Structure 1
Amino acid sequence: MDKKTEEFYIRLKEELSNTSTWPSEYLYKFIVPTDKKKIEEVENAFDNIGAVIKTHQSKAGKYTSVSINVTMDSPGDVIEKYIEVSTIEGIISL
């Protein structure tokens, strides 16, 4: 992880700590190339933790947005999931 990304996660953790009480619901939003395997990788990262997952394909069908609403225990857990899915090729975290 580069320094800029690391600093982003540190700021995000501070903001989440200051603006929410934990455990708390958190909404993740990602964009991935429309590829069944990549979409499944994102979904599998949130499997068995009570996540509500919604997908929507772009008009041209090239990309799929994945929205995941899930209760997380702490800001650290939120960031761990971002780091986990960041290894998926072509994923964009919003």
Structure 2
Amino acid sequence: MNIVGQNTTSDPEAFYESLKEKLEQTHNFPEDYLFKFIITNNQSKLTEIYRVFDGIKYTLTNRDSKNGKYTAASFNAFVLDANQVIKIYKEVGSIEGVMML
């Protein structure tokens, strides 16, 4: 898992607990939440991310990098609470080669 801006040597559970607190302070759930990911231009990786969002109402925007090596995927998803946001990040984080913004 690679979260841009995160110190990768820190405890992931502590990171997610801190993120949950920040989400609860700054968002009024339920609401739309924007998830952004960067992956190598590989349709199977994007399909794996789609599976994480099964059963969730979302809109998707994809954009390929200038050289076509990477794809930026933005999911604007309706989430119920901070726990659901964390669950999605953890599931996408288990997919190899995905950078989360």
Q: TM-score normalised to the size of structure 1?
A: 0.92
Q: 2:62, 2:100 → 1: CA distance?
A: 14
Q: How does 1:1-94 map to 2 (within 5 A)?
A: 3-94=10-101
What is the percent sequence identity of the aligned residues?
Answer: 39
**SS in structure 2 at match of 1:64:** strand
Name segments (4+ residues, structure 1) moved above 6 Å: none
Unpaired runs of 5+ residues, structure 1, are none
Q: 2:96, 2:72 → 1: CA distance?
A: 15
Unpaired runs of 5+ residues, structure 2, are 2-8
Q: TM-score normalised to the size of structure 2?
A: 0.86
The count of residues paired between Structure 1 and Structure 2 equals 94
Which residue type is aligned with residue 69 of structure 1? N
CA contact (8 A) 1:13 1:75 kept: yes
**SS in structure 2 at match of 1:43:** helix
CA contact (8 A) 1:31 1:65 kept: yes
**SS in structure 2 at match of 1:53:** strand
Which residue type is aligned with residue 72 of structure 1? V
